[in-house]
């Protein structure tokens, strides 16, 4: 067989394993849900604070109630986002040069989730005691604005990780998984 390229059995097995892993990765219905759920707390917390600002500054109870609902839902959704972010970071940490930016994003996300949940719990306490009035509302609004700023910063840094490093994208994730499981094969033996 002139011109036929052959390879050693070990090399052929490595190539077959890589191809099987690629097929499994592409066809797998299970995917990282961090990108799917991460937008909920961003939107809910920011719009909740905007509604609160309108309601508190213009003395409109409807907006205060809507802000309370949206912010509370945003705080609840921040918990699974923080948890799924940890699993996404485990994969992303293998990308060259990402460590410092990943740490910033992780810190912003953790602080934001903690502050949002704490603020929602404190507000719930004041609402149930019917003491969410006057000065308490303005203090809450300041912390709400800080939380909204933090969630925007966390979202921005997360987007930066995706667009600059390719974190969470299929080609980068597949390559990382392949390199962890199968030794790299660069050369074929030709006979």
DSSP per position, 71-131: HHHHHHHHHHHHHHHHHHHHHHTTSTT-HHHHHHHHHHHHHHHHHHHHHHHHHHHHHHTT-
The answer as to whether 137 is a domain residue is: yes
- Summarised one tens digit per residue, pLDDT across range 65-80 is 999 999 999 999 999 9
Q: How far apart are CA 100 and CA 129, in angstroms?
A: 44
- Summarised one tens digit per residue, pLDDT across range 93-120 is 888 889 899 999 999 999 999 999 999 9
- pTM of the predicted protein model: 0.73
- What is the DSSP-derived secondary structure letter of residue 29? S
* Per-residue confidence (pLDDT) for residue 29, from 0 to 100: 37
Instruction: Tell me, yes or no, whether 84 and 159 share the same domain.
Output: yes
Number of compact structural domains in the chain:
2
| Residue 61 pLDDT exceeds 50 | yes
| Residue 41 pLDDT exceeds 70 | yes
The answer as to whether 54 is a domain residue is: yes
| CB of 167 closer than 8 Å to CB of 34 | no
The answer as to whether 38 is a domain residue is: yes
Instruction: Tell me, yes or no, whether 145 and 180 share the same domain.
Output: no
Q: Supply the range of the domain harboring residue 107.
A: 34-167
Instruction: Tell me, yes or no, whether 26 and 103 share the same domain.
Output: no
Number of H helices, E strands in the chain: 7, 0
């Amino acid at each position: 067989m002139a011109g036929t390229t052959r390879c050693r059995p070990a090399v052929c097995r490595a190539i077959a394993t890589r191809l099987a892993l690629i097929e499994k990765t592409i066809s797998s219905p299970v995917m990282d849900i961090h990108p799917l759920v991460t937008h909920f707390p961003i939107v809910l917390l920011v719009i909740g604070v905007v509604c609160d600002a309108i309601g508190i500054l213009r003395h409109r109870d409807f907006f205060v109630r809507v802000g309370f609902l949206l912010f509370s839902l945003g705080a609840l959704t921040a918990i699974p986002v923080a948890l799924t972010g940890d699993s996404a970071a485990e994969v992303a940490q293998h990308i060259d040069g990402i460590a410092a930016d990943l740490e910033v994003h992780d810190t912003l996300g953790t602080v934001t989730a903690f502050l949002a949940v704490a603020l929602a719990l404190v507000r719930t306490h004041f609402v149930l005691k019917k003491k969410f009035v006057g000065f308490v509302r303005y203090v809450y609004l300041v912390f709400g604005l800080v939380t909204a700023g933090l969630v925007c910063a966390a979202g921005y840094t997360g987007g930066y990780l995706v667009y600059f490093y390719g974190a969470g994208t299929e080609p980068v994730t597949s390559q990382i998984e392949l390199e962890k499981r199968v030794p790299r094969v660069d050369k074929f033996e030709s006979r």
